[in-house]
Structure 1
Amino acid sequence: MNDDAQPAAQLVLDAVTLTLPAAAGPVEILRGVVLVVSAAERVAIIGPSGSGKSSLIAVGAGLEAPTTGAVRLFGQDLSRLDEDGRARLRRGRAALVFQSFHLLPNMTAEENVATPLEIAGASGALATARGWLERVGLGKRLGHYPHQLSGGEQQRVALARALAARPALLFADEPTGNLDGVTAAAVADLMFDLVAEVGAALVMVTHDPVLAERADRIVRMADGRVLA
């Protein structure tokens, strides 16, 4: 093996643009974005509201198709895959955590974590879910529904759900944005610890400069463009 070899890129955005229709005319959301994220690299994306940060994650994760340019996730050109194909590519390999948690309200914490594992065909999904909820400090809240959990607890469930499959890449969009300062710090500690443990790359949108400084690299955006 060549010791000088570069780490494999988990995500590549090559001259990506995104233009969306609006009543007043098309709106350019992303303008020629170039980004490469290597295996196990932690990247923070910062910038003012409306700069395109969340759209970059949506395009990178294959949730939104770019207008022009290429997106490669785990070496696969997303333009060659339909929606089902992109979902299969993400399954077990890419995970997402959002500011709004996106837990299923009619499922317990245990079921929220176990269900994606079951869909992916993993054996022992319930046992794995219990183990991860124990690790995020919610071992006594397995049977609680989201409305019975605090915001910080819900975000810890979301983290457990995202990382239980030991993904290669975690997308996090303002993962502490809805939390108070103390809870946000605790969730951030947990996220970075668990990402390091599973060896996942991290692409994180945040408005918090302290959180951003914990990443390996900071990418600044403005007006749909990457500045650095």
Structure 2
Amino acid sequence: MSNPADPLVLEDVSLTLPSAAGPVEILRGLDVRVAAGERVALVGPSGSGKSSLISVAAGLEQPSSGRVRLFGQDLAQLDEDGRARLRRGRVSLVFQAFHLLPSMTAEENVAAPLEIARTPNAMAAARAWLDRVGLSSRLRHYPHQLSGGEQQRVALARALAPAPQLIFADEPTGNLDAANARRVASMLFDLTAQTGAALVLVTHDEGLAERADRAVRLSDGRVAAAA
């Protein structure tokens, strides 16, 4: 049973998309709930619907049927601007591709969402977060001057700096070597534990999934198992 305080609830959610060969069912009657502060791993083979689930849950894609409630708000009742306002400052996304702005330094990339939200002392907060992810010596480096692991740590600092209540992370270690993947994963779990943010993590790494409070396994667009 869901709690009104749950940041995310999906009820009987389906997603069907058009293709040259006809409609393709991506998600099929999903029921998923994420409690406040809970870390949930989404696992399953490629094509099972994990990334699509995140897109629907974050309000980036509208489901074909069913209901998505983000912080108690039914997303179907909001237009695109309304969904963006609901996410602002409360939801952060981390992707496999780092999505840093190439014309901005690490410090400026982290400060950007804070400045959009008109957070006081945005640059000082950005520096503090880069220090927390071990990059205090790389503040003024541009993305092309950083390694892949460093870029993902900047992306992680940028996601956490606005103090979100919910973080969606889609294969955040997928582009990293083993050592950097372990480091970024540890930071992701440690920092969300410290901040109390809920985490929905898509991963193929079973070891990483085991660090979550609970795993939801998808198969062919359905929940195959949850533990």
* Structure 1 residue 121, shift from structure 2 partner: 1.5
Describe the SS at the equivalent of 1:45: strand
2:171 corresponding residue in structure 1: 174
1:53 corresponding residue in structure 2: 50
CA distance in 1, matches of 2:3, 2:91: 21
Task: Provide TM-score, normalisation by structure 2.
Answer: 0.97
Describe the SS at the equivalent of 2:100: coil
Q: Deviations over 1:67-121 (max 9, x none)?
A: 1000000001101111111111111111000000111111111111001111112
* Structure 1 residue 8, shift from structure 2 partner: 2.2
2:218 corresponding residue in structure 1: 221
The within-5 A match list for 1:1-228 is 8-228=5-225
Change (3 A) 1:154 1:210: same
Letter in 2 for 1:56: L
Contact in 1 for aligned 2:9/2:68 (Cα 8 Å): yes
* Structure 1 residue 227, shift from structure 2 partner: 1.1
Contact in 2 for aligned 1:7/1:38 (Cα 8 Å): no
Letter in 1 for 2:123: L
Contact in 1 for aligned 2:203/2:209 (Cα 8 Å): yes
Query: Structure 2: 5+ residue runs without aligned partners?
Result: none
CA distance in 2, matches of 1:74, 1:177: 29
- For this pair of structures, how many residues does the alignment match? 224
Q: Deviations over 1:171-224 (max 9, x none)?
A: 000010111111100111111111011100000000000000000000000000
CA distance in 1, matches of 2:80, 2:107: 28
User: Please, what is the CA RMSD of the aligned residues?
Assistant: 1.1
Describe the SS at the equivalent of 2:138: coil
Q: Deviations over 1:113-157 (max 9, x none)?
A: 001111112111100001000110111111111111100000000
Contact in 1 for aligned 2:8/2:68 (Cα 8 Å): yes
CA distance in 2, matches of 1:75, 1:101: 29
CA distance in 2, matches of 1:7, 1:60: 16
Contact in 1 for aligned 2:4/2:72 (Cα 8 Å): no
What percent identity do the matched residue pairs reach? 72
Task: Provide TM-score, normalisation by structure 1.
Answer: 0.96
Query: Structure 1: 5+ residue runs without aligned partners?
Result: none
CA distance in 1, matches of 2:162, 2:182: 24
